[in-house]
Structure 1
């Protein structure tokens, strides 16, 4: 009982989805004696449902996609798990599956507002008794309630995207796990490697002439444009990427683990998707986008680089994608380092 109370206290004190996932995985792993516990997120891509691990046990420790970049977490089709698909169709909260080796897996879909975007997987070599199942059900109920609370605090109320506060937390965590402290020379070498190898990218997106939309059609249609652009952002990026609304007509994207060439293609595809979309009453809408590589520099500097590329795009025709380092190398942007933390343009 003491161990259960300790884990419940740990679960209910979290104010972040990743930490909440880690707490519930740790609780189930220790209290149930499970050989494997994973939290999966479910997402739709090209009209097909996929599932990918978000937090799991590795070598006895809890890890997440924010920490482990060595594994491809693009996900796999949900149809690969017919028992889970059937349980979701029947709105079940738990289904047990026995493998050929005799391992027993509990699939625990987490229902929030009549939708399932998260599922827990608990694997155990021995059968679950009624007391264990009852305890798992209780932990799942607490987890579901706190997921609902965190969704409310982390997301923008209009678009449903992650909000600015959540960006600050997730970006700082990404920097701390992906880019250890480095000298200016190391930073320059790492930036050069990003042009040829795998890197992480930050983009700032702004809707062109959004004030005219509000002035001409009213704020109701302006809000509809924001919602539709947010939907296009969701469909244009991968499950492991993160999309935020910064406020007003500005959005930010964290694009993870891809090359410069692919990052440019992904950003261009989104820009084109917006340009080709027909917005009700308003007609055509375009966006400008500036992006920069995520290096060991401070969050303010990296965000400033993407912002500078965005303003260049808006000042030079709009409806275009601009890359900060490319603009600096071509002489279109000039930076002068005045100290270790601030750059003036």
Structure 2
């Protein structure tokens, strides 16, 4: 075990998450202060996503040259710069600065996301790896839950969204200072061979669908529960926000649970249990009580960490390449999901668009079934 690598991954995601999750709660204030509409304001998300996609596609060129520790340090510097730039965006009410800040954030997010998963892989052993992945992604759920409350606290103390980003920009700076201690481990950069050979295209596609469709399924709920509740069920903004908080609280609780408790089931069986429970929970939430939509966070919580552990088990030395590959697929599928939800919502309403979540879970599950059948036939 190389605990400094684990701590660096955890701390990096903690710093990253508060910047990433600060955009949505601040969105309306940003539009108001910059006097722009939702169409122009949406680029705060789309530009960052596009930049992240480019980083993921090009990872096989830059990661072997600089290694995950130095790349993480670069990402942390970019994240600090992004937070400071967001402060200047509000101070000068500058739309070009908003786009520039989003570019910096997209770069930092993508590099950090790739590297933190690799750091956990390199720093853990087979026995603890799945628990450590669960703990890693619990950090994201925790910060997603906490970010709106931190913004509310700053507002209550007389601050604003600009001050939030300026304060949060210090987090990646502190983590970067810690990272220089980790340099002493002399972790080697992944070799070019691990990025260029040996993984069949069909496996890359299947794992891309497993990960991309799962994340898309989670995103539909995490980003659209309030919209669905307000527009279809006529819930108040405060009430719908509480349901979203419960979703993130459930997501975090599940990942924390799996980071401490060992279950005597294979990773594949745990994934299928997650899919099945999520289906049941979703339809109960859609037709019985929306509280079950929030509880989908619990049933979904362990899917991504288990899938990441299974990827490392399956591909071994090729896992560095596969991590960058699935991150690219996630970026592409999320772009499609955002567009698809908008089109379905426009023509049929949010009560039907919300069904994108179980549909994507089904595609993810079927992709895993197909991979297992191919793997079995080659034994």
Length-normalised TM-score, structure 2: 0.30
Which is bigger in relative contact order (C-alpha 8 A, separation at least 6)? 2
Structure with greater helix share of residues: 2
Larger Rg: 1
Q: Please state which structure has a larger fraction of its residues in strand.
A: 1
Normalising by the residue count of structure 1, what TM-score does the alignment of the two structures yield?
0.32
